[in-house]
Amino acid sequence: QVQLVESGGGLVQAGNSLRLSCAVSGRTFGSMGWFRQAPGKERELVAHINWGGSSTYYADFVKGRFTISRDYLKNALYLQMNSLTVEDTAVYYCTGGSRSGTYYSPNNWGQGTQVTVSS
């Protein structure tokens, strides 16, 4: 059974940082990514990364602030989020899927972790 379990969310003040983690079990994904969904908004792609970690993609609204990374020994995915703003408040989802260039298609989803940024 494939499972993706996020952790690391919480309440943080604007300007501060959080690091999200995603523990994967049951399989290894060639590509992985993070999505988020804010209240009343559609789910949106945040970032994705290839198997080797040599290629990453970031949505414009997080470029320069967020960093996606992987730990292959632990079969884990991370999202380092710096300079957080209230607009980053959302439920963040870890996903495993496939990618081609900047295009990413998720196949498996975690349950999500809430990130709340206060002003």
Q: How far apart are CA 59 and CA 39, in angstroms?
A: 19
pLDDT recorded at residue 75: 95
The pLDDT tens digits for 7-17 are: 999 999 999 99
pLDDT of residue 102: 87
* pLDDT tens by residue, 60-112: 999 999 999 999 999 999 999 999 999 999 999 999 999 988 899 999 999 99
pLDDT-based confidence at residue 53 (cuts at 50, 70, 90): confident
Question: Is residue 1 classed exposed, middle or buried when 0-12, 13-18 and 19+ CB atoms within 10 A define those classes?
Answer: exposed
Task: Report the distance separating Cα 47 and Cα 59, nearest Å.
Answer: 6
